[in-house]
Chains A and B, each alone.
Chain A
Amino acid sequence: MTAVSNDRDHPVDDLASYALGTLEARERSRVDAHLAACDACERRLADYRGVIGVLPLALPAMPPPAAAWTAIQAAARLRPPRVRRWRTVLYAARWPAVAAVLVAVVGWNIALQRELAWYARGPQVEALSRRPGRMVILKGVAAPAANARMFIAADGGHGHMAITGLTRLPKGRTYQVWFIRVQGSPLVGGAFDVDTRGRAWVSIDPPANLDDLRTVTVTEEPVPGSAVPTGATLLDGRL
């Protein structure tokens, strides 16, 4: 017998009643809860069930009535084993089912990683926002539903931009951020694509001297990005 010695910690007496099916509902629930966390009592219960299972062997043998088998046979013919049908289906479908579950898990994991990556930048931006800097609002131009917010540290060199409302790009295309200067050619601020919900949170490399900047724009360009803007201005914001 599995050793369970401390009656205060284990419902030893109730285990026997539980195995015999004589516990009232409340006690049964209490034992159920204990069994869920106690391997020793679970083993003891299995011991009891084994003993109880053989008790009928002590009964005097009685031949069943002859008509019983005829009735069972007739009823069996009207009730084909239903286990066979669903088990056969499950057996045949087991590998496709496993594959589907794996695909679902991998897909969920990728989505979760993206989601986490999105939110993980929150603290960085929050830290950045406490530094002296400048907030730039970009409004949709060729993409009217899109907008973005950019924060650039006053001392330059660091920035973040949150974008929403852009469509996901096909392979070989990228969105590119441009700093349009008062004089001189545009400077590249970064490149990104959006997620399935049209969002992105990107790190920006602004120039050190912000006084020379006029606007920030976003265009669509071929990967890995262009030297100068070639696509239509999708977003635009004044510095």
Chain B
Amino acid sequence: MGRAAAGDIPADPDLLRRMRQGDESALEMLYARYGGLVYSLAMRIVGDPELAREVLQDTFLRSWDGRATYDPHRGRVAWWLMGIARNGAIDLLRSRPHQARLRERERLSVDLPADEKDTAEVFGLRRDVMNALRTLPTVQREAIELAYYGGMTQTEIARVLNEPLGTVKSRMREALDRLHGLLTPAMKRDVEAG
């Protein structure tokens, strides 16, 4: 993910190192690599182009000025950026009561993209993640999406789904266990590919 086979394309951690030294071109390369993904995630969570742009800008500025620091032990740079973006988007969502009410009214639809080829194919894992999510029972996928993209607490999810709290907890755990089993080989390949 995020690193081509060619030796002259800098790896993500190299870009971060250069950014710490004030190299603006490294920030530009990181943005070119992950800007679309961060924007997609922000749009998925906040559902508004202007707010999503706000999240996008804040995510990359945090990675630039040191307000967010990357820990290689916690995973890939892309996952780190997604984490910043998700947290920012959820915070934004929670700070806007009308948005919160909106997301409680409208269940987040499971809209996995068609199996088209697009620019995101550069991320080798994408197809594996899409396929793994498709194997989940709808109730498990729904719980995961409400948690991840909706930023709801498990109690809120239980209320929205009209299910006991214990059932929601179990669904989320079963979903993550299943995804882990399905994705681990692909994730290892991705890490080894650098």
Residues of A within 8 A of B (CB): 1, 12-17, 19-24, 47-65, 67-69, 71-73, 75-77, 79-84, 87
Q: Contacts of B39 on A, CB cut-off 8 Å?
A: 62-65, 68
Q: In whole angstroms, how far apart are the Cα atoms of A80 and B19 in the complex?
A: 10
Q: For residue B3, which residues in chain A have a CB less than 8 angstroms away from its CB? A: none
9 closest Cβ pairs, A-B complex: A53-B79, A83-B66, A13-B169, A60-B113, A64-B39, A61-B120, A16-B173, A20-B147, A79-B65
B120 touches A75 (CB 8 A): no
- Would you call A17 and B147 a contact (CB within 8 A)? yes
Is residue B155 contacting chain A, with contact meaning CB distance below 8 A?
A: yes
Determine if A48 and B180 form an interchain contact, defined as CB atoms under 8 angstroms apart.
yes
A-B pairs with beta carbons under 8 A, tally: 179
Asked if B153 and A24 make an inter-chain contact with CB atoms under 8 angstroms apart, the answer reads: yes
**Set of chain A residues within 8 Å of B153, measured between Cβ atoms:** 22-24
A79 touches B172 (CB 8 A): no
A72 in contact with B66 (CB, 8 Å): no
How far is the CB of A47 from the nearest CB of chain B, in Å?
5
The answer to whether B35 and A68 have CB atoms under 8 Å apart is yes
B91 to nearest A CB, angstroms? 11
**Cβ–Cβ < 8 Å partners of A14 in chain B:** 169
Q: A1 and B181: CB pair below 8 A?
A: yes
With A22-B172, A69-B35 known as contacts, the answer to whether A87 contacts B125 (CB < 8 A) is no
Distance of A11 Cα from B124 Cα, bound (Å):
33
Tell me the interface secondary structure of chain A in the complex.
helix
Known: A50-B180, A59-B40, A63-B36. A75 touches B111 (CB 8 A): no
The smallest beta-carbon distance between B117 and chain A, in angstroms, is 10
Q: How far is the CA of A213 from the CA of B79 in the complex (A)?
A: 85
Q: Chain A nearest CB: distance from B184 CB in Å?
A: 8
Contact indicator A22/B157 (Cβ below 8 Å): yes
A23 nearest CB neighbor, chain B only: B154
Looking at the complex, which one of A17, A19, A61, A80 makes contact with B118 (CB distance below 8 Å)? A61
A69 with B169: CB separation less than 8 A: no
Inter-chain contact A82/B66, CB cutoff 8 Å = yes
Q: How far is the CA of A15 from the CA of B39 in the complex (A)?
A: 28
12 residue pairs bridging A and B, Cβ less than 8 Å apart: A13-B170, A20-B147, A52-B176, A53-B75, A55-B148, A59-B40, A64-B39, A71-B57, A72-B56, A73-B24, A83-B20, A87-B20
Instruction: Give the docked Cα–Cα distance between A48 and B167 (Å).
Output: 19
Give the contacts of B82-114 with A (CB-CB under 8 A): 82-83, 86, 90, 111-113
CB-CB under 8 A from A73, the residues of chain B are 24, 27-28
Contact A50/B187 with A17-B172, A63-B36, A84-B21 known, Cβ cut-off 8 Å: yes
13 other A-B residue contacts (CB within 8 Å) besides A50-B187, A55-B144, A56-B82? A1-B177, A16-B169, A20-B144, A20-B172, A53-B80, A53-B82, A59-B41, A61-B40, A68-B39, A68-B56, A73-B28, A77-B24, A81-B64
Q: Smallest CB–CB gap between B146 and chain A, Å?
A: 8
* Contact between chains at A22 and B147 (CB < 8 Å): yes
